[in-house]
Amino acid sequence: MTMQRFKPHLPWITLLVLTAVVGVVDPNFLRPANLLSLAGDIVPLFIMALGLTFAIYIGGIDLSVQSMANMITVIASIYLASLGAWVAVLCIAAGFGLGMLSGFLTTRLFVPSFISTLAVGGVCFSVAQWLSGNRALNMDAEQRNATFGWMIGHTGIIPNELFLGAALLAICLFIERRTILGRVLKAVGAGEPAAKASGINVGRYKMLAFAISGALAAMAGLLFSVKLSGGAPTIANGFLLPAIVAVLIGGTPLTGGVGGVLNTLIGTLIVAVIRASMLYLGIEATQQQMLFGLVLIAAIALTIDRSKLRTVK
């Protein structure tokens, strides 16, 4: 078997091997209850990575996801009291709109996505600080339970977050596999000039990809604030690195066109297992970020399609 044919299978093999290794070291790790709670905890990160997949799938990047989630935790905490369940609509609309703005800047004004999303992230950070007055906010616990309690409870032994994550994954998978949008995004990722030449309105679809990324980052922020019952302008810091790692290690390369949301599911699970394994193997938490940084470099180096880069800038 050549490396080229082996490559697509690498992510799930990595996941199985890692899980097996940790399972051998500590069999408790493999108890279903433990695995389920582990999976439940990672759902906000998974939702964020799910959205980010679309931005990377078209060969771009979205560096605003973390600031977006931060801002949404603040918005959700403030407006839950006055808007009730409608606050979810507000949050997702804000994420969709700001993602659309990043997409507009990138496609119509030719601002590279890492700069446009960085700038939109700056706007989000300002809004979050302004709305919160730079303080940590708390949700009214009773109202949170009444409105969003279903998100974080348990059904039997299964955490409800998993159903939410599964539903969003199904929607994204449908978009990717069964809609025109999904096909166009694949075409754009595989080769943008060719997609354009075949008469597709590439700009519109790319904007939608960034909008989906923004909307899902907002969803991640909402779930995160419900879990923590509050929000703050920097509460979700530390999400960006594992989210990018999850997408890339799952097998959606930086150059776009291959991979997809299912890969991100596997990638997120790998991130979860790595995090848990540090605990079981007695590695200190302070080493986590450094480790993920190195894993990120390895993942990019392994997945990137160099034939698409004429000069590497």
Q: Which two tokens stand for residue 273?
A: 């297992």
Total site size for another protein, rule CB under 8 A: 52
CB of 283 to another protein, least distance (A): 11
CB nearer to another protein: pick between 247 and 276: 247
Which residues 232-251 are close enough to bind another protein by CB under 8 A? 241, 244
Are 218 and 68 spatial neighbours (Cβ–Cβ below 8 Å)?
yes
CB of 119 to another protein, least distance (A): 4
CB nearer to another protein: pick between 118 and 173: 118
CB nearer to another protein: pick between 115 and 167: 115
CB nearer to another protein: pick between 116 and 147: 116
* 114 is a site residue for another protein (CB under 8 A): yes
CB of 122 to another protein, least distance (A): 3
Which residues 129-158 are close enough to bind another protein by CB under 8 A? 129-130, 134
* 290 is a site residue for another protein (CB under 8 A): yes
Alpha carbon distance 71, 65 (integer Å): 10
Residue 111's CB is within 10 A of a number of other CB atoms, namely 16
Alpha carbon distance 250, 52 (integer Å): 12
Q: Which one, of 51, 56, 53, 60, lies nearest residue 107 by Cα?
A: 60
* 291 is a site residue for another protein (CB under 8 A): yes
Residue recorded with tokens 């923590």: 228
Are 68 and 123 spatial neighbours (Cβ–Cβ below 8 Å)?
no
Give every CB contact of residue 99 below 8 A, 6+ residues apart in sequence.
Answer: 51, 62, 64, 68, 210, 211, 212, 213, 214, 215, 217
* 194 is a site residue for another protein (CB under 8 A): no
* 307 is a site residue for another protein (CB under 8 A): no
Candidate segments 14-22, 83-91, 176-184, 283-291, binder of another protein by CB under 8 A? 283-291
Candidate segments 2-10, 15-23, 188-196, 270-278, binder of another protein by CB under 8 A? 188-196
Q: Return the HEC string of 247-276.
A: HHHCCCCCCCCCCCHHHHHHHHHHHHHHHH
Alpha carbon distance 297, 248 (integer Å): 10
How far is residue 221 CA from its own chain's centroid?
A: 11
Alpha carbon distance 269, 35 (integer Å): 10
| Binding footprint of another protein on the chain (CB under 8 A) | 59-61, 105-107, 109-116, 118-123, 125-127, 129-130, 134, 192-193, 196, 202, 241, 244, 254, 286-294, 296-297, 300-301, 304, 306, 309, 311-313
